[in-house]
Amino acid sequence: MQTTIGKIFWTGLISALLVLTAFTLEGAAARAVKKKKKDKLANIYIQQGKQTINLAPGELTFRTALVLGTNAQTGRYGTAREPSLKVATHQLEIMLFDPESAGEKVYLTRLGYVETNPAHNFDLNSTKLDPEFFQKAYKMDYNAAIPINLWCFEEDIPLQMTPVPKKPGWFRLVPMGQLPPGNYSITTVSLHGPRYYTGEHPFYPFNLAAAAAPPPEAK
């Protein structure tokens, strides 16, 4: 039979554990929110002369190729839809409010459509498996064609970054070189090529289109 002191002890211990659990869950939630907030681009747009082009987030997809254990997956990030936002190729300036990282975590990437990739491209271990052990480990052929069917991140574009005068926290990012027409995106992490799944990320796709030729002069 428990004594009164014993009951008080166990009641106090259970209460303390409940409080500790609540603080732990609250702390984890706060860290998750904080991490998500850092990974978000709240104020970003493209400026071309006097024209302001607002960027809309796109739908980012991860196509899994290999499963490594219970939590690790390798594959490719991309989007199933070709970007609908059209932007002219001239005078491309990305305007960004980012006082925390000063634009250092922003990537401009060229997108390319990928139908398939060979399975061994997704073996990201430091020591690559040979074809025989690859098949035993992943239960598929070394050169098996993995369906991707996404507009994938192909190449990160170097950017020149400068602070915007008289606008604290704002930065201007300009490609270091003329970009050819095509599909591009802005993200907060580099996502090109085969890689591990690292969760969801902000993704702003757009299409760079060459300016239309002027109409012929009337004779």
Q: From first to last of its 219 residues, what are the pLDDT tens digits of the chain?
A: 445 555 444 444 434 433 333 333 333 333 333 333 345 566 888 988 888 899 989 999 999 999 877 778 999 999 999 999 998 877 789 998 887 777 788 899 999 999 999 999 999 988 888 999 999 988 899 999 999 999 999 989 999 999 999 999 899 999 988 889 999 999 988 998 999 999 999 899 999 987 555 555 655
- Alpha-carbon distance of 133 to 121, in angstroms, equals 15
The residue whose two tokens read 């609908």 is 84
Strands 86-88 and 203-209: parallel
Nearby residues of 200 by Cβ (< 8 Å), 6 or more positions away: 60
pTM greater than 0.85 (yes/no): no
Indicate the residue type of 4: T
Helix (H, G, I), strand (E, B) or coil at 209: strand
